[in-house]
Structures are given as structure tokens and as C-alpha cells.
Amino acid sequence: MTTAAVNRSGTDEGSGEKSTLIGAGRPFAWLLIICGALGLAASAAITHDKTELLKNPDYEPPCGINPIFSCKNVMESWQSHIFGFSNPYIGWVAFSMLIVIGVSLLAGGRFARWWWVGLWAGSLFGVLFCFFLQYSSLYEIHNLCLWCMGAWAVTILVFWYTTVQNIRTGVFRVPAGVRANVLEFSWTVPVLWYAAIALLIYLKWGNAVFA
């Protein structure tokens, strides 16, 4: 039996053949687990409030803290069930999968390059869907939902750090200078991303957000 060696890119090499199996470090695994748990909690909260709203149209979700943060208006919009069912059902599946994937990586799981590309593509769909919901909340519904914003936040983190993971391990091949900057300053992208969202919210409502 030959013992496989792990090279710096995270791939396994054994018996003289290069394997395409790639693992991940504990920080990335924990990021998926934590983001998945937070996203699942947000999905559960939205599902509960949506169910209560269907049973009682006068129900006021606890996340409706002022005229701007009105979860009820968001939950009653057509954008809240764009695929014919409530959006949180997507979260139940997607965020649960993130937890399973994170635990698998934490246990030493390794996957093929195509699998990592698939994970990135799934997170890309998630972040694009969030873009649509963010635009809708700001400029069509004219209200925000705190639970939804929590789901946006973790989806952004998962997308960006999956991108970083794929650059680090060579799944995405980029110039050496780009790779070095991405790995060293990876934290700047989500910080600037969140700041841009906060700025758009402030430009839309100003100090009324804090009322």
C-alpha cells in the first residue's frame, strides 16, 4: 500500500500519479459550517414568520422594527416566491449542504476539481440571486428584511472565500501576482462589499434607517 503525499496545492499524489482530489484547511471548513448554520437559522425564521403570516394576515413579524425594516412587506412581495415557492426553501437545502460540506472537509474530505468548480458555481448563483433580492428590496419593495440581510451576508462570504479557496489550490489559475494579492488581502473584498451595501441603504433612506 502506498501512502499518498499532499503537495502544497492541496492535491494528493500517490503511486506516481497526480490525483485531482483537493481538500481545504480548517478555517474554510469552519466558515462553511458557521455560514451554513447562520443561513439555516435565517431561513427557519423567515419560514416561521411566513407561515404565521399565511395563517393570520394581521401577523407582524418580530423583525419589523421600523417602517424601513418591514419583513412583512418583503414576505408578501412576489419576489419572495419567484420560483413558485418561498425563497427560504432554497436556503433550507443550500445552507444545509454547506454544513455537510464543511463537516466533510473538517474530517479530511477531498474532492475533484470539477466538484470545487460546482461548489463555486452554486455560490455564484446564490450571490447573483442575492443581488436581485437586494435590488428588489431597495428599489421595488422599498423595505428591508433583517433575516434576509443575514442570508445575504453569509452568501457573500461563502461565494468570495470559495473563490479564494479555488485560487489558492489552483482550481482557478490566475497570474502569480493576482494570486498573492488575493491570498494576502482576501478580507478586503467582503468588507468593501458590505460597505457598498450599507452605503446604498444609507443613500436610499438616510438617517431614517436608525429611527
**What structural domains does the chain harbor?**
23-210 (1.20.1440.130)
Cross-strand pairs, 5 = 13
What number is the average pLDDT over the span 72-84? 92
* Tens-digit pLDDT profile for residues 161-188: 999 999 999 999 999 999 999 999 999 9
pLDDT at 19: 57
Q: Which of 1-15, 51-65, 197-211 has the lowest mean pLDDT?
A: 1-15
Give the number of other CB atoms < 10 A from CB of residue 187: 11
Q: Is the whole model's pTM more than 0.85, yes or no?
A: yes
Quote the cell numbers at residue 176: 502569480
pLDDT at 157 > cutoff 50: yes
Exposure pattern of 151-167 as b/e (b: 16+ CB <10 Å)? Answer: bbbbbbbbbbbbbbbbb
pLDDT at 161: 98
Per-residue confidence at 14, pLDDT binned at 50, 70, 90?
very low
How far the first Cα of the chain sits from its last, in Å, is: 67
* Tens-digit pLDDT profile for residues 3-12: 333 333 444 4
pLDDT at 142: 94
Percentage with pLDDT > 90 across the chain: 81
pLDDT at 17 > cutoff 80: no
